[in-house]
Structure 1
């Protein structure tokens, strides 16, 4: 299974919607996503051409065809449980839900109500059922105003830990492998917050196979928390500007899962170029980037995979 970070089609990356062939929208690193049995990113945007922007500093949106572009680029699934999924209000949310309903790839973390928003996508990979769900722990306008509830559309919230843990229990009843993709952390902080580590422990205790996520605009450390793999932050991936501190280092994390446990981790490092596209490192640059990324584990309390 391959994971990468935050993606959207704004500013300099808007042109990636029209790249030919479409398989190159994410650049050459698409190969790492396409080669995995299942791959996933966070789509950091409302999926709409309509609606009024919400009263916040940054608002992002993309047309529904962005989902097909991501599919062509090797992405098998996206999360919309983030702080930009409802940047264009109720009209944009209605469009995003319609885009989800007609999407060529599964979309998790957003729904017409809480039941749908927290529901996992269950896939069969080489004879093994895998359940993937998503939620946001970012405490801001989207989580306050557009949290899914009973009869209320919106995002799945990780701030409602009881709802998230209940969703995990229901996912485990459907599949032996459960992965949770979270939007969490503090922007530009390369170390996990207390809220992240506390939630990771609860999800590990609930038997989650892997907990991964984004939001900080910079890479964070990863490794094993007992028998659960945790990646605290994948950073930006296809990104509209270069102003985020630490935001140009990125990559694809590929996990090997054997008998329901993460037994291998491979990181393909990349640098976001002037067009906002992740370009894989090679040679000595790649080795140095992997070493920097592995060094981020020091403030996480996690153990290396395989030890």
Structure 2
């Protein structure tokens, strides 16, 4: 019961924080100057490795459990799951709830309007998607992906409005550049957490990117802007997470482009970098002091794909460091829900991840 109460409290705080950070009056995006958080009880602390400026001391010895999952949408066979949003995620929901903060990628516009863009696949979902996410224990979602503008800027605007109406935190896209690159901010047991979302998918990236005068996605193709966003988040939080949309579809090894950008994020001050998009599982490890997991695969998925292997990555953080990592294997079932697996199926996925780790270029253990 205590865990449920804590998660509900966190969700309420997270929703309020997202509204303050990402959206201004009337649903308009608020820039960093207007949304700078006030942290109560902070005292001068060590120097940020990214900026050289003084940062508040994170609470010593506090452990926070984080959970991450991959791509989710509600279309095709998964649309019918919203007939009962409370049960939409099925048997995997307890795993999602059993963490202090749970994040995933919402791979769809939340709209019933807009014009389909010139691309092959188009995903959209009704507003009840946010109710399903909240019921499953998902605290916030990245919308920095190659489907959030499937129905144009009307679809993105409707998504932002629906999130605001539901008081549900989204990050990684917005009504202008500042809003798109703004972090979602939350605090767990005194640990201040900032979460950014960015996309490194090339399709339509030029027309979908956010600008000072146009809504869109926070793109990795402006590396200076991306690094600046991480450094800004570093000044506001004890723990900085970047949720990426990247990878080569069907490839369980990271591309050179992914590895280069992961290093840039690490150098800018990111503590954790996770991603999805490749429709298959990739692996993780340490890049210096930064924990990187290159790909979480599909999670709640509408149809066929390169792989039905899925799961939930859980990380335990203490003093900004990942001190424990676990992966709960699952498989995408016939109705699109991810179902935890045991026995031979579980071991097969864990072995697959162990093999994939060899091509990441990441260390299997954190250097102290």
| TM superposition score normalised by structure 2 | 0.80
Residues 104-183 of structure 1: pairs in structure 2 closer than 5 A: 104-141=167-204, 143-183=205-245
State the partner residue of 2:308.
248
CA deviation profile, 1:105-147 (whole Å, cap 9, x unmatched): 2100111101011000111012100000101010111x22121
Contact 1:68 1:104 in 2 (8 A): no
Does structure 1 residue 67 correspond to structure 2 residue 127? no
State the partner residue of 2:43.
none
Contact 2:181 2:218 in 1 (8 A): yes
State the partner residue of 1:98.
161
Greater CA drift, 118-127 or 99-108: 99-108
The alpha carbon displacement at 1:187 in A equals 0.6
The alpha carbon displacement at 1:285 in A equals 2.5
Match of 1:199 among 261, 267, 274: 261
Distance in 2 (CA, whole Å) between partners of 1:172 and 1:145 is: 29
Contact 1:6 1:43 in 2 (8 A): yes
CA deviation profile, 1:152-207 (whole Å, cap 9, x unmatched): 11111111111111100110010010000010011111100010000011111122
State the partner residue of 1:282.
342
State the partner residue of 1:84.
147
| TM superposition score normalised by structure 1 | 0.96
Greater CA drift, 98-107 or 109-118: 98-107
Does structure 1 residue 41 correspond to structure 2 residue 104? yes
The alpha carbon displacement at 1:278 in A equals 0.5
The alignment partner of 2:166 has SS state of: coil
Match of 2:81 among 4, 13, 16: 16
CA deviation profile, 1:56-107 (whole Å, cap 9, x unmatched): 1000001122112111111111000000000001321221221232233210
State the partner residue of 2:357.
297
- The answer for unaligned runs of 5 or more in structure 2 is 1-65
Greater helix percent: which structure? Answer: 2
Aligned residues: 302
CA deviation profile, 1:199-254 (whole Å, cap 9, x unmatched): 01111112211000111000001111111000100000000112x22x20000000
Distance in 1 (CA, whole Å) between partners of 2:229 and 2:79 is: 34
- The answer for unaligned runs of 5 or more in structure 1 is none
Distance in 1 (CA, whole Å) between partners of 2:206 and 2:164 is: 24
State the partner residue of 2:20.
none
